[in-house]
Amino acid sequence: MEKQHYYFKLIPPRPTFPQDMTSEERAVMEEHSEYFRQQFELGRVLLYGPVMAMKGAFGLGILEVADEAEARRFGEDDPSVRAGLNRFEIHPMRVVASRAR
């Protein structure tokens, strides 16, 4: 079965989050970073990182998974989402070209 791709957007609790997160929030975000690193190593994430948008930073990842259910589980399993800190959106996408492929 061919893998599908999803745009993953991690939505922080407030636009100023990167500048004013608490020590407790920082600890959760360290767990989030480790989760993404592990998923990247497993091949479920093609690329990821923060987007420093004018209206507030957010996280971005391009997932390579079996289907939408797996993409949704990926987001629900993120430690920052499980902790109630962040929310996420997923959108199907078609990767036409990638240097990493």
Domain count, the chain: 1
Domain that holds residue 43: 4-93
* Overall average pLDDT of the 54-78 stretch: 97
User: Which CA distances in Å does 22 have to 16, 26, 43?
Assistant: 12, 6, 31
Looking at the domain assignment, is residue 52 inside a domain? yes
Q: Are 5 and 95 in contact (CB under 8 A)?
A: yes
pLDDT tens readout for residues 71-82: 999 999 999 999
Let me know if residue 39 belongs to a domain: yes
101 assigned to some structural domain:
no
pLDDT value of residue 16: 92
pLDDT at 49 over 80: yes
Say whether pTM exceeds 0.95.
no
Model pLDDT for residues 3-35, shown as the tens digit of each residue: 999 999 999 999 999 999 999 999 999 999 999
Rounded CA-CA distance 36/30 in Å is 10
Residue 30's CATH number: 3.30.70.1060
